[in-house]
Structure 1
Amino acid sequence: MRHLRLAALSPLAAALLLAACSTGEPAVAPSAPQPSAMHAQLLEDVRILAADEMQGRDTGAPGGALARAYIIGRLDALGVTAPPVGREQPWEMQGRTREGPKTFNGVNVLGVIPGTRVTDKYIVVTAHYDHVGVNDGQVFNGADDNASGVATMLALAADLKREAPEHSVLIVALDGEERGLLGARHFVEAPPVPLASIAMNLNFDMTARAETDGKLWVTGTYQHPTFRPLLEAVPANGAVALAFGKDTPQDTGDDNWVNSSDHAAFHRADVPFLYLGVNYHPDYHRPSDDFATITPSVFISATELSIASFRALDRGLNR
């Protein structure tokens, strides 16, 4: 268990913030890195986002702002441009806390990658970067929830910059998921592109700890059965394979994930969705959800499987 550090940023955190905000030399070389370098960057993204200096990345807190600056710096370094509405999408909404309702000021982070075949339709790739912050003096770092999903999304963005997608893609790091899907709700209420032009939402939330059952779960094919054949052909990667479910009327309680993360806001807005994530594990929503609990080989396999899944969907969608 860790205890809350001083609010002042450590030298490491200050250096990270300066690096993230820098417009100088990019942190990622423009030429395609070797797989080992790509894997190292994936793990480094999780390590940094789940560091104590981020103070649990709560919405509206200094740690959340530090995480946001890091993500913006990574997108800038990758050459992922901002859409016409800008890199940041601020919002103010009422959310939930343990003490009751509270008004939160959050910010979504946006990037766009043009498609080569269907330029006027978008796949919106989302991952929430917030977590629950500090509770009872303990930092909840949220390495799997959801520093992992953000790192997977950044790895996908890097892959799409090396080989352009067929559909245009919006890369969206959402804020306020833990407070009631606030950032996702604002996104669909004030989308940067018309909702009618969004072909689907692909949401990454908890992509690291697949060793629990060896599965990266795909939720949403019950609601959108045409997606399933596109993904059934995606082979397992290492010890991790796709599994379909947690989305039927027979899946109840914590075993039904249709409304469990940001994809629910898209679902309610009648936007097709799929959710990729691992099963619950003992560190879920505990201070012990740290970078050290992640098995690198398993997380790398799950991320490569996530990228392969995106490519299969991108190729298979007609519009």
Structure 2
Amino acid sequence: MKKTNTLLILFNIIGMLVFSQENTKYAETINVYDLEKHLSVLASDSLEGRETGKPGQKMAADYIMNHFKDIGIPPYKRKKYYQKFKVKSGRHLCKCEDCDMSFIKKLLGQKQKIKGENVLGYIEGSDLKEELIVITAHYDHLGKHDSLIFNGADDDASGTVAAMEIAEAFMLAKKDGFGPRRSILIMAVSGEEKGLLGSKYYTDHPIFPLENTVANLNIDMIGRIGDFKEHSNYVYLIGSDMLSTELHDISEEVNEKYTQLELDYTFNKEDDPNRYYYRSDHYNFAKNNIPVIFYFNGIHEDYHKPTDTIEKINFEKIKKISKLIFLTAWELANREERIKLKGE
């Protein structure tokens, strides 16, 4: 009996080691070719800037949904990929304190009723499937004004294609028998540019109990070099230690072991004058006491301008940050204990 128990323990340890070593294999499936393929569609003139409620946004939603179908990701409980919402738009949330927003405000207009869709792909976990990791990126942008199209290649087609590739990496792992222990929701949200509307609707109407949501990893603008940087091997992280020290530590450890990016915490302050912590979709999760990380490359000269186009995108940068996010999500999904909030 003692020998049998020892063998079982040994096999379990070996199994866990093999499982933990598979993460890099699937991280390597994230590639520049697919990122560029997806972004060339989402940031194309034919989608007319993907303004929430307009035909271009609906076309983008269909493209993301079809990608989920193609890679085998089902909707939650085999229902629908779309979480539709109809709300009044709030104030526009610009990420740049010093930007001249007069033209953008005119473009977006006054408060209006908005119909949008969040696109949800759900990867069910195994023994810890009642807990959830949420990965978000907003696929909407500013739309079209007269002859000017705001393609939003960096903001936030870059984050959206990263989420699409991360979703595919997790599905490939699951098909090979290395699916996540905790469930994963990949959510492309709309309405961000009109006041974080899609993520607000989700947290008001979650498909999964918010108390079972372990963390939100939010990707918003990761395809360019920001104004204050001279190299591409960095990412700004915002919020990682606000609610959970463990989340911050895991993020640091994963990066040190696998990606060796410069993790810059310059804007990681609730009282930062730029207020980035409040300006993207992660904030609606943080308001509900869910630990978050916001991945961001910083503002650049083409931010919220028609010149935010695909030829300026650094796809190697997107790939490397996407790998960091995938590997962080892998650790969060497969570790034995759920990360703790500060004070627990």
Q: Structure 1 length normalisation: TM-score?
A: 0.83
The residue number in structure 2 matching 1:230 is: 250
Q: Write out per-residue CA displacement over residues 162-218 of structure 1, whole angstroms, 9 at most, x where no aligned residue.
A: 222231001111010000001111001111111111111111111211476332122
Q: Which has the higher relative contact order, 1 or 2, with Cα contacts under 8 A spaced 6 or more apart?
A: 2
Shift of 1:117: 4.0
Structure 2 counterpart of 1:173, one-letter code: A
**Equivalences for residues 21-100 of structure 1 within 5 A:** 38-84=31-77, 85-95=79-89, 96=91, 98=105, 99-100=109-110
Corresponding residue for residue 209 of structure 1: 224
Structure 1 residues 317 and 33: CA distance shift in structure 2, 3 A: closer
| 1:111 and 2:132 are equivalent in the alignment | no
Gaps of 5+ in 2: 1-24, 93-104, 174-178, 339-344
Return the structure number with greater helix share. 2
CA gap of 1:241–1:78, structure 2 versus 1, over 3 A, is farther
Residue identity opposite 1:235 in structure 2 = N
What is the alpha-carbon distance in structure 2 between the residues aligned to residue 317 and residue 202 of structure 1? 19
What residue is the counterpart of 1:27 in the other structure?
A: none
- Aligned pair partner of 2:145 in 129, 135, 138: 135
1:291/1:240 CA distance change after superposition, 3 Å: farther
Find the counterpart in structure 1 of residue 5 from structure 2: none
Amino acid at match of 1:181: L
Q: Which runs of 5+ in 1 are unaligned?
A: 1-31
With over 3 angstroms needed to count, the CA separation of the structure-2 counterparts of 1:61 and 1:190, relative to structure 1, is same
1:46 and 1:90 map into 2 onto residues whose CA distance is 23
**Deviation by residue 1:136-183 (Cα, 9 ceiling, x = unmatched):** 431000001111111000111011012222310011110100000011
Between the aligned residues of both structures, percent identity stands at 29
Contact 2:189 2:199 in 1 (8 A): yes
1: CA distance, partners of 2:144 / 2:276: 26
Provide Cα deviations, 1:20-66, integer angstroms capped at 9, x if missing partner: xxxxxxxxxxxx99958843111111111000001000001010011
Mark the structure with the bigger radius of gyration: 2
**Compared with structure 1, are the counterparts of its residues 245 and 311 closer, same or farther at alpha carbon in structure 2 (3 Å cutoff)?**
farther
Tell me what 1:283 maps to. Answer: 302
Q: Is the 8 A contact 2:52 2:116 kept in 1?
A: yes
C-alpha separation in 2, matches of 1:174 and 1:34: 23
Of 77-86 and 301-310, more deviation after overlay is shown by 301-310
Query: Structure 1's 36 and 307: CA in aligned 2 closer, same or farther, altered over 3 A?
Result: closer
CA distance in structure 1 between the aligned counterparts of 2:36 and 2:260, rounded to whole angstroms: 18
**TM-score relative to the length of structure 2:** 0.77
